[in-house]
């Protein structure tokens, strides 16, 4: 389905205060700018590192915040690390000190440590989970007490089709991104009685986070060329909508945004069943299960296999 003019979102977030992690550049910056255009005051959080975690531009957060202010919005920069619970608490406190409240958290911060699984080092595993999954927990937990007290609030967490579907050489990233889905669902369930919502977005956009995709085959080159057409600003309208009061009845869901397409993603539910009145033995399962379940088994696909058509 098509959507209306993007100017229709203007003012949806008037009076609200948002935190966007990892928003010094790329998708995060587009999200921060989109929320600001919709009327939110924004804490732009970014420690200014490369995809692999090395310091690259420590001023990224301040520069992005300054650009928002120059464009007529309200923003402040923040350089605390989301992987540190104390840092996460400072991010939330800065929102309170600067703008008097906190209404929105967008968990976007992330790094990559790609490696084929049998060569993945423990440090590579832990580093990615520390930022993506632990970071999302840390900032969400720091904001949750305030959301509960004011009986309102909205979370958006960036997941990925790498986690929802699959990809080569990204066991750490896939585990973190699928873990974020579970975290979001838990928040939605636990905090629904306080009018707090939590949803996920899997973004398709050309950014640093996808620029490491290998282009060894012709198919990979075509895929990357298509990704380069999908700019980060295409993701912002969905985030603005989900954290606005217009989405007050939407929580615990997973969406994907791919250029001009918006998808509601499925979540695990029973697909097929087998019943044996006397209980199962391994031998009985070996005889019955493969044939009964074969047509319903989920194939070992990558995101590109599932989203195989050109973006529109």
* Average pLDDT estimate for 257-277: 96
Q: What is the CA radius of gyration of the chain?
A: 20
Paired sense of beta strands 104-107 and 153-158, if any: parallel
Q: How far apart are CA 256 and CA 78, in angstroms?
A: 28
Q: How far apart are CA 14 and CA 38, in angstroms?
A: 7
Which string of b and e fits 17-32 if b means at least 16 CB within 10 Å? Answer: bbbbbbbbbbbbbbbb
Closest CA to 224 of 159, 310, 160, 162: 310
* Average pLDDT estimate for 274-280: 96
Helix/strand/coil for 148: helix
Does 31 score more than 80 pLDDT?
yes
C-beta of residue 106 within 8 angstroms of C-beta of residue 243: yes
Rounded (5°) CA angle 260-265-269? 170
Which positions are annotated as active-site residues? 173
C-beta of residue 40 within 8 angstroms of C-beta of residue 32: no
* 206 C-beta neighbours (distance < 10 Å), count: 19
Does 266 score more than 50 pLDDT?
yes
* Average pLDDT estimate for 60-87: 98
Specify the pLDDT at position 209. Answer: 52
Does 210 score more than 60 pLDDT?
no
Specify the pLDDT at position 5. Answer: 43
* Average pLDDT estimate for 269-293: 97
Contacts of residue 93, defined as CB under 8 A and 6 or more positions apart, other chains included, come to none
Does 304 score more than 90 pLDDT?
no
Q: How far apart are CA 303 and CA 55, in angstroms?
A: 30
Confidence of residue 58 (pLDDT cuts 50, 70, 90): confident
- Quote the tokens at residue 165: 């579907």
Closest CA to 66 of 101, 22, 33: 33
Picking from 45-59, 132-146, 209-223, which range would have the lowest pLDDT averaged per residue? 209-223
Residues 146-205 have pLDDT tens digits of 999 999 999 999 999 999 999 999 999 999 999 999 999 999 999 999 999 999 999 998
* Average pLDDT estimate for 101-113: 97
- Quote the tokens at residue 8: 């229709």
* Angle at which helices 26-37 and 236-243 cross, to 10°: 50
Specify the pLDDT at position 218. Answer: 73
pTM above 0.85?
A: yes
Closest CA to 175 of 211, 131, 145, 220: 131
Residues 235-246 have pLDDT tens digits of 999 999 999 999
- Decide: residue 152, CB within 10 A, 0-12 exposed, 13-18 middle, 19+ buried: middle
Q: How far apart are CA 172 and CA 81, in angstroms?
A: 19
Q: How far apart are CA 167 and CA 165, in angstroms?
A: 7
Q: 13 φ, ψ to 5°? A: -115, 20
Q: How far apart are CA 173 and CA 176, in angstroms?
A: 5
Does 214 score more than 60 pLDDT?
no
**What DSSP element (H or E) covers 99?**
helix 85-99
Does 83 score more than 90 pLDDT?
yes
Please measure the distance between the N-terminal and C-terminal CA atoms of the chain and give it in whole angstroms: 11
Confidence of residue 8 (pLDDT cuts 50, 70, 90): very low
Helix/strand/coil for 20: strand
* Angle at which helices 122-129 and 171-191 cross, to 10°: 30
Q: How far apart are CA 161 and CA 239, in angstroms?
A: 17
């Amino acid at each position: 389905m098509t959507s209306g003019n993007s100017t229709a979102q203007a003012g949806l977030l008037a009076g609200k205060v948002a935190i966007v992690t990892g928003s010094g550049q790329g998708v995060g910056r587009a999200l921060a700018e989109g929320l600001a255009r919709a009327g939110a005051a924004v804490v732009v959080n970014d420690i200014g590192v490369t995809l692999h975690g090395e310091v690259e531009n420590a001023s990224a957060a301040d520069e992005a915040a300054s650009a928002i202010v120059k464009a007529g919005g309200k923003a402040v920069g923040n350089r605390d690390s989301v992987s540190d619970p104390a840092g996460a608490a400072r991010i939330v406190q800065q929102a309170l000190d600067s703008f008097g409240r906190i209404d929105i958290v967008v968990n976007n911060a992330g790094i990559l440590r790609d490696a084929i699984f049998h060569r993945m080092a423990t440090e590579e595993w832990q580093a990615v989970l520390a930022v993506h999954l632990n970071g999302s927990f840390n900032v969400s937990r720091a904001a949750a007490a305030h959301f509960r007290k004011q009986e309102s609030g909205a979370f958006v967490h960036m997941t990925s089709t790498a986690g929802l579907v699959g990809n080569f050489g990204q066991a750490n990233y896939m585990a973190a991104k699928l873990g974020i889905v579970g975290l979001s669902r838990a928040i939605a369930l636990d905090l629904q009685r306080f009018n707090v919502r939590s949803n996920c977005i899997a973004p398709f956009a050309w950014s640093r986070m996808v620029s490491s995709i290998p282009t060894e085959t012709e198919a990979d080159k075509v895929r990357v060329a298509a990704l380069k057409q999908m700019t980060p600003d295409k993701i912002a309208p969905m985030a603005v909508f989900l954290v606005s009061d217009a989405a007050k009845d939407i929580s615990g869901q997973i969406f994907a945004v791919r250029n001009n397409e918006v998808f509601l993603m499925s979540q695990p539910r029973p697909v097929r069943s087998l019943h044996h009145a006397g209980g199962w033995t391994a031998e009985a399962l070996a005889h019955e299960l493969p044939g009964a379940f074969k047509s319903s088994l989920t194939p070992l696909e990558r995101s590109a296999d599932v989203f195989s058509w050109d973006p529109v």
